Amino acid sequence: MINIAVLGYGVVGSGVVEVIGHNHEEVSRKAGEEVRVRYILDLRDFPGDPYEDRIIHDFNTILNDPEIAIVCEVMGGTGAAYQFTRQLLEAGKSVCTSNKELVAKHGAEFLELAAARHCNYMFEASVGGGIPIIRSVNTALTAEKIESVTAILNGTTNYILTRMAGEGADYGQALKQAQELGYAERNPEADVEGYDACRKLAILSSLIKGKNVDAGQIYTEGITGITGADFEYARMEGLVIKQLAIGKMEEDGSVLAMVAPFLLSEEHPLAAVNDVFNAVLVTGNMLGDVIFYGRGAGKLPTASAVVADVIDCAKHRGKNVICIWDREAAKAADVTDTKRRFFLRAKADTRKAVEETFAGGKSITLPGVENEFGFFTRELEEKDFDAKCKSMGDAVLNRIRLL
Ligand code: HSE
């Protein structure tokens, strides 16, 4: 019998219990022994819940139980979750988590600790929800020199952008739906301002680089500035708007990492990734492109990834599975040095100035719209683009990068 504990009985925690219950035979057969949830730690009581008898409030019960070798940390945050994870790993208990904030911040530290204590710290569910991207980077793609990842890593924002593009739903309405579906973070600012995708990109880039990519150094922009008008211009040009997370391993050893809304061709494989789905396009030097696609948020897909880690930990009891992510900081490349095209919307009476300032670009107008126009620049360095925008005062209403 493999007894496990679950820290946090929220959306993902209840999903973990449900996956183990629903797929009990499957999970136990693959783990090699019956898997049973012995404890569920939460501050709350759950009267009437089928697992009511497993709810406990004292973490030490789990820490001091020698029969608990695997713990799922699905409580989120970096406070108690950090302390608990450290204590568990120090005690030689493996930890499986969906807590991307904690993994992004302390992944290298916990991996080091797990290796020293011959146990494991696994975090498949922390990036891309149910998509098996972490394990793929660590195993199936391990012979590759990964050159870049271009990804949709936040289900909530992808859901919002899909609703806005398709039904013309307004931003607030779409966010509310995403929250009701259990996709959004407790504080949805983490989703819509890009912080959640930034943390996931930090994890992915760190694993690819093998060094620590600090989330705080990743250029991050949210989707709150995107309006219905942006979608109309995009549609006219055969483009879609997606919130992308891009990690590029540069020749000089630095990592170029950014999260921002991008315009991309309708033909691009990521353009067809809609609703809560996430996708990660990985480019390897031998393999070329490979895409991972699936549900990036939601109770059961995320929980399924946590339980997969539980099975992996069960199969490797007493043995650390190597995962290379050193504490050493990866060098961050400067986004403002990169070159790309930009789309901007500007006030109609500034058209001449915009066309002169961004010579070589193309203006477009929306039928029936007279107070503004759209403009696609030629390829420019980010810092050059920013300086030109600044030089025109408040003429520019919004701008979006082109992939
Ligand atoms: N809020 C996250 C998202 C949950 O929308 O992608 C999954 O990490």
DSSP string, 172-211: HHHHHHHHHTT-S-SSTHHHHTSHHHHHHHHHHHHHHHSS
Q: Return the SS3 of 299.
A: helix
What angle in degrees, to the nearest 10, is found between the helix axes of 80-90 and 100-116?
Answer: 20
Q: Amino acid identity of 391?
A: S
Nearest atom, ligand 1, residue 157 CA: 5
**How many Å lie between the centroid of ligand 1 and the Cα of residue 395?**
35
Q: Residue of the nearest CA to atom 1 in ligand 1?
A: 184
Query: Encoding tokens for residue 159?
Result: 């859901």
Query: Tokens 């480019």 appear where?
Result: 283
Distance 118 CA to ligand 1 centre (A): 31
Indicate the residue type of 280: V
Which of 258, 264, 221, 224 is closest to 241 using CA atoms? 264
256-265 per-position pLDDT tens digit: 999 999 999 9
Give the residues of the chain that fall short of pLDDT 70.
Answer: none
User: Would you mind telling me the total number of residues written for the chain in this entry?
Assistant: 403
Distance 281 CA to ligand 1 centre (A): 18
Quote the pLDDT of residue 236. 95
For ligand 1, atom 7: residue with the closest CA: 297
Ligand 1, residue 183: give the atom nearest the CA: 5
Q: Which helix (H) or strand (E) holds 222?
A: none
Residue 92 DSSP SS3: coil
Q: Report residue 398: phi and psi, to 5°.
A: -165, 160
Distance (Å, whole) CA 84 – CA 358: 54
Q: Minimal CA–CA distance to 261: which of 295, 306, 220, 293?
A: 220
pLDDT at 170: 87
Report the atom number in ligand 1 closest to the C-alpha of 153.
6
**Choosing from 93, 100, 105, 200, which is the catalytic residue?**
200
CA 399/CA 123 separation, integer angstroms? 35
Q: What separation in Å is there between the alpha carbon of 222 and the centre of ligand 1?
A: 14
Residue whose Cα lies nearest atom 4 of ligand 1: it is 297
Are 20 and 54 in contact by the 8 Å Cβ rule? The answer is: no
- The whole-angstrom separation of Cα 28 and Cα 17 is 13
Q: How far is the CA of 100 from the centre of ligand 1 (A)?
A: 9
Residue 200 falls in the annotated catalytic set: yes
List residues near ligand 1 (CB under 6 A): 129, 154-156, 183-185, 191, 196, 296-297
pLDDT number for residue 169: 87
For residue 185, the ligand 1 atom closest to its alpha carbon is 1
| pLDDT given for residue 33 in this prediction | 97
